[in-house]
Every structure is written in C-alpha cells, then in structure tokens.
Chains A and B, each alone.
Chain A
Amino acid sequence: MKLTRFHGGVHPSENKLTSDKKTEIMPAPAKAIFPVSQHIGAPAKPIVNIGDHVLRGQVVAEPGGFVSVPIHSSISGEVIGIGEFPHPLGRPVTAIVVENDGKDEHADFEEIDPSTLTPDEMKKRIQAGGIVGMGGATFPTHVKLSPPEGKKIDAVILNGAECEPYLTSDHRVMLEEADRILAGLQLLMKILNIENGYIGIENNKPDAIAHLTEKAGRMKGIHVLGIKVRYPQGSEKHLIKTILDREIPPGGLPMDVGVVVQNIGTAAAVFDAVVNGKPMMERVVTVTGSAIKNPKNLLVRLGTPFYEVIDFAGGLTDDAGKVIMGGPMMGIAQYTLNVPVIKGTSGILALNKKDVDATKPRACIRCARCVDSCPMNLMPNELVTAVDNKDWELAEKLGILSCIECGSCAYSCVGKRPIVQILKYGKAETMKAKRKREEAAKK
C-alpha cells in the first residue's frame, strides 16, 4: 500500500527501554481510587455509599450522559471514601475509594456469542464496559462508533504507532494480545458495517508488525501496515493522512473523512466488553525513565496509586526530578504520587534531575524550526506573538484552534521557549473570545 508523508514532525531519541520486557501482572493495591472523570465528556455519577461492599467489576458510578461511561471497581472490598482526590490530569476530581478485602470476588460477567448481537446491542455493551480510548485522549468508544446520520464511515484504523518516546505499553499489547486485538477489530468493523480495517504500526516495532501480519493471515479486509517513525505519527489526523491520504478539515473529526481511529488496546478492551461482558478494570502501563530503578511494563488495576506502581518497578532513584503521566512529549507532570492510574494512563515516566529540562528561555531568533516541525502546518512563532499581544482574532485566523499540542515546536525550539504552554493558554482565550463574539452576534 502506498503511504503518504505529512509535513513537519520531529524525531526525538526513542528511549524505549522496556520494549523487550514482558508485561508483568502487578498485585491489586490495598486501596484503589476511582475518579468519576477518566474520560472526555460528562463525569460519571457515584451510585455507591460509604460502607457499601463492592465486587471487582461492579459499577460504582453511572454514566452522566451519552458522552460518558460508567466506572467500575477493579477490586473487591469496602467503599471507604467519596470525595475530591488528586487526579493525574491536574485538578482534584470526585473519586470513590475502595479498600481491598483481598478476596477479589468479581461480579457476574455475561458472556455472549457476538454473532447474535446487533450493532446497537454491541455498542451498548461497549458503553456498559466503560470503554474509552486508551491512547490517552480517552474519548468514549461507543460515541466514536455512533456517527451522526449522513456521515458514511468506510474505514477503521487501529493506532499502534506509539510515537511517544519511552512508552512501550501498546507495543507489548500487540505482541501479547494479538488475538484479542484482531477480534476487537473485526467487531469494530462489524459494528460500523465496513470492509476495511487498518493497523498502523511505526517501523521501530518490526516484531509487532510481523506478529500481527502473521496473526491476521488471510482475515478479510485487515491490513497491517508498517509506517515511518516520526513523531506525532500517532496523532489521529496524521495517521489517517499517512494511511489513507485524507486530511481532516480544520475543526473536523475523523468521521468527517469517513474514518474511525481506535487505539490498539481499546480494540482488545472492546473484545472483552462485547464477548466476555468484562468491563475495563486494568490496563498495561509502562513504568520507565531515568529515575525508575527497574523499568517495566505492568498490567495494573485501574485506581492503583502511582507510588505503588513505581514501588513495584523498584522505586524512584534518589535524584528523581519529575514524574509524568504519559510520554515525554505530551504527558502531564505530577505534583504528588497518590494520584491513581486511570483509563488513559499509558505510562508513568520518571526523569532524574539531569534529564529535567531547566534551561532558561532565550529570545526567538526566528530560526523557523517550529514552522518546519509543525505537523498542522501552522506558524507557532506568529501564534506566540498573537497570544503575547492578546490578539485573539489574529490567533484564530492563524489557526490556533487547530493546534494539537503535540509539542514538536517546543521540542525543536532553539530558544527553549515554552511554546505549547503559551498556545494552550491562547487556545482557551481564543475559544472564550469566539464564544463571546458569537453570543454578541446573536443579540
């Protein structure tokens, strides 16, 4: 198949320290924390009370709307707290805390032959399973599978690019769970009633490409593709561009070009939910970085506090300087380690003080590396000036709302300027100004 190149991108050192490390199963935590917001959309609503006994796989919070999913307990035990807890995405969020009784009793999971299910019934089971995108953006999967009338979908792409340095969780899932992934992909194709499913994997994972190609064998309509190693290859927009040469228009979604993109792990979770009736209760997390004594890939129960996960990987070195949820390009720095593993936690990255970038920013010398590296083909330097001048109309005209915050600009900036931080702020303010203008126009 002919692949397309996208403009820009960067190639940071890959640092995949844990590619060859088999996923280890981490024991369940003593206490697990389940935030009601682990997905994009309305937060779930708690339906348990303090003192309730819950089972592994039992729903502890109901979806708060269509664009929302339920939250399940990943352990059995007693609910000991409901309230605001630190959350890896920053602001404290309502969470349900369960104390492990060590019995691991689980709820009844209803197994079913998927050939007896209609697409709508399958989507219901996917939502009931609490399935969201596991690549990090955590968009509810059943919503992606429900395109509005008139949007014709003709392809589904599984995202196995894993373009973030350090992370290897998707890589391991592809090597260890190929059957579940492929079964999940076939279910997704059935739900969307389409012929073609693609799996895009960066060429730095030749074993995963070979393994999935072999497993897919002559499965009808499934294409396993090795794609160029270039960050942000795993961005939906750029994966679609690479594989199908379609460009999502500004402000649009994959469905606007007839595509649904799902993370590799999400496909496996879809299989669990649809066929086994098993909700999302655990995920593979890469625990890695220069400040982790023994980097590993771990199968972790959702709700496990970060410090327990890090402890299982040998603990932090003495010179630990920064702990990040996700990869080094888009991950979020943590200020405390009692935040829980959530559905979007693909990795816990700990960097030592030497690796923590602390260079003071210098002036922009217009070297244009940000322009050259922007995969959205924007002019980050001009956007920063617009934001500095609080000129939101200009910022919007220059496409600030299309910025995917991939960090390629800031990575390559010779002035070490905090471009992404400035653009994130600018995006929020531009949205505000836009809404204000639209409201004023209505009056």
Chain B
Amino acid sequence: MAKKVKIEVPEQYQVRLSMSASPHIRSSEDVPRVMLDVLIALTPAILGAVYYFRFKALSVMLACIIAAVATEFICSKWLFGKRVMIDDWSAVLAGILLAFCLPPGIPIWAAAIGGFCAVFFGKMLFGGLGQNIFNPALVGRAILLASWPVSMTTWEQPIDGVTMATPLGIIKEGLADVVPPTYFDLLTGNVAGSLGETSAVLLLIGAVYLFYRKIITWHVPFTFIAVVLVGSAFAGRDPVYELLSGGLILGAFFMATDMVTSPVTPLGRILFGAGCGLLTFIIRNFGGYPEGVCYAILIMNATVPLIDKYTLPKEFGQKGRKAK
C-alpha cells in the first residue's frame, strides 16, 4: 500500500537554486588572466622597443594588434559564426608577439597583413583559440618573410636608425669589417634586430614574472637554450653570444612556451624544448638564414600531437603494488 504524503517546504525555503555538476568552486585563474599575464611580462620589452625604435616601433605594434584583433572579430562574428571572444586578450597577444619578431623598418601595411595572416591562417582557420597547431605569431612572420623578404631582412641600428646587419647576420655573412656588438649591447638591446628580441635583460624580467605567476615551467625554455648553448660550444661558436643575440630568449620564454602549441606533460615539454634547440642550432650553423628560432618552433609545433601521444603519464597505480 503506497500513499503519497507531501512534505511541504515552508515558503521562505522555496528558493530558486542553481543546479550544476561539481566542483562548485573554481580557482580565480582564467583565460583572459593568463593572456594578460603574458602581456604584462612583455611590457618591459615593449617599452624597450619604443625607446630604441621610437615611433616606428609603436606604429608596427599597433598595426599588428589592430589587424589581429579585427581579423578575429570579423572571423568570429560574420565568417564562422562563433562567439566573439576578443575579450580574452589572445589576439592582442598574437599581435604583439608578431610585432616583436618584425624589423622596425617594415612598412605599416606589411605589418598589418602579418597581423591578419597570423590570426586568420594561424588561428581562426583551425577553429579558433586552442585549436591551432602552429604559433599564430610565427605563422604571420613566416608568411611575411616568404612574401617580402627584403623588408623583412632590412635591419637598422636602434635610435639613429642606420641600416645595419644583425649580430647573427654579421657572423653568418662573415662580415669582417664590422665589429660585432659587445655583450653589454646585447644585454641591453642596443643592437640591430627585430623589435622585441633585442634586449635580453628586458625579456628576462618578463620571464621571471611568468615563472612567478606559474604561467610557464622551466622545461621548454631551459632545454631549448641548453641545447643551443651546448651545440654552439661544440661548433666552436661563442655560446654567450648565441644566447644573447637573435630571437633565442624571446622564442624560448615567450613563443615556444605558448600553451596551445606546446606539449602538456613535463617529459613532452623537455622533448619539445630539446627539439627546438637542436633545430635552431642546425639552422644557425648550416642553414641559409642567420636565425632559426622561428622555423625551429614552427616545425616542433607540428610534432606536438605526436609528443603528447607518446608521453602519456603513467596512471596512478599502474606501477602496481609497491610494498606489501
């Protein structure tokens, strides 16, 4: 015999309650915060670029950012019909990072095309944030380098703007009549080069912040740099010079550590970093370009799904019984 008795809930307890699966609390970290942290970390180098290259730096960076953000907005809203999420700062970041690997003298329109290519080909065509295989900023740079090789390889000295070869270019071309810059110039960024890759000190300040905020781990940047240093030492090149010149520090701490396009496990990150280092070393020593960081990272980006597959962590308990 079943009879239904109703348990009346007093009126003050008939509240509209939200329902959802656990967990009911979340950490305060979110995607915009992560992207913003990287931007904060880049700020010293941004200021450095503006100091060394003045209005040129400012206009190139703005062109890249505006093109990148506009591309993402247009793609999401009208082309692919997705939720517009430019508020996550990722397009701004892609723009800045692209600007950082462009020469200061590049025409504004080329920079803008780079920003478009970075986001359109590097990100939106893959399905948007999180889906892309290659680092968008580096995709943009690679396309520009292939399309306008002269503008992309015309470097100038900071402040006075005199045309000048980059430190790595000096070595590559064996320019005997040019005195290579001193370590001090390399550290402070008083050398020819891309907007963001010139000052090692300013970039490292940002890197320290990224470690402090736990945005990056040591695995990728340290193995990346270590392999380049060891390789150069063996090849008879000056490791300190190799470290401080070119895009190694920018690439190792800010590009190769891009979460979307790098492996997720510690072991995977070590393999990835080592691969980046090896390819950079090979391109710098035996390739046609003086600098190889960009292509090294892009090539290693393609191996990430494979690395992830073969570096699956060992599940809890798979080691079996330890003691009995």
Contact = CB atoms under 8 A, between A and B. Distances in A.
Q: Do A and B bind each other?
A: yes
Interface of A: 6-7, 10, 12-13, 31, 33, 49-50, 80-85, 97, 154, 165, 237, 241, 244-250, 252, 256-258, 305, 307, 310-311, 315-316, 320-324, 328-338, 349, 351, 355-359, 362-369, 371, 375-379, 381-382, 398-399, 402, 405, 407, 410-416, 418, 420-421, 424
Given A6-B316, A13-B25, A246-B323, 10 more contacts: A257-B321, A257-B324, A307-B13, A310-B13, A311-B10, A316-B15, A351-B24, A357-B25, A411-B27, A416-B30
Contact of B17 (A244, A248, A328, A335): A335
A376 B316 contact: yes
Sort A-B residue pairs by CB-CB distance and give the 6 closest, nearest first.
A81-B5, A407-B23, A363-B130, A421-B21, A368-B264, A307-B13
Given A33-B7, A316-B13, A249 B321 contact: yes
Most A-side CB within 10 Å, residue of B30, B31, B85, B260: B31
Contact of A398 (B31, B259, B312): B312
Nearest to A351: B24
11 contacts: A50-B1, A244-B323, A245-B323, A307-B10, A311-B13, A322-B18, A365-B130, A371-B265, A376-B316, A412-B29, A420-B22
Chain B contact residues: helix, strand, loop or mixed: loop
Contacts of A248: 316-317
Contact of A323 (B17, B34, B315): B17
B316 A377 contact: yes
Contact of B7 (A6, A249, A305, A420): A305
Chain A contact residues: helix, strand, loop or mixed: loop
A61 to B, nearest CB: 14
A83 B5 contact: yes
Nearest to B5: A81
Contact of B21 (A305, A377, A420): A420
A377 B313 contact: yes
Contacts of B17: 320-323, 333-337
Contacts of B320: 247, 249
Contacts, number: 216
B314 A246 contact: no
Contacts of A165: 25
Contacts of B26: 357, 359, 410-411, 413, 416
A81 B6 CA distance: 9
B185 interface: no
A248 B50 CA distance: 58
Contacts of B130: 363-366, 415
B270 interface: no
B128 A363 contact: yes
Contacts of B318: 249-250
A141 to B, nearest CB: 24
A256 B316 CA distance: 14
Interface string B248-269: 0000000000011010110000
A379 B264 contact: yes
B3 A50 contact: yes
Nearest to A33: B7
A366 to B, nearest CB: 5
B9 interface: yes
B129 interface: yes
Most B-side CB within 10 Å, residue of A410, A414, A421: A414
B33 interface: yes
Interface in B196-232: none
Contacts of A80: 3, 5
Nearest to B4: A83
A257 B265 CA distance: 28
B1 A371 contact: no
B306 interface: no
Contacts of A244: 323
Contact of B22 (A10, A330, A382): A330
Nearest to A413: B26
A379 B24 contact: no
B3 A363 contact: no
A245 B323 CA distance: 7
Nearest to A305: B7
Given A315-B12, A363-B130, A365-B259, A329 B23 contact: yes
Contacts of A418: 20-21
A399 B4 contact: no
Interface in B107-149: 128-131
Nearest to A360: B83
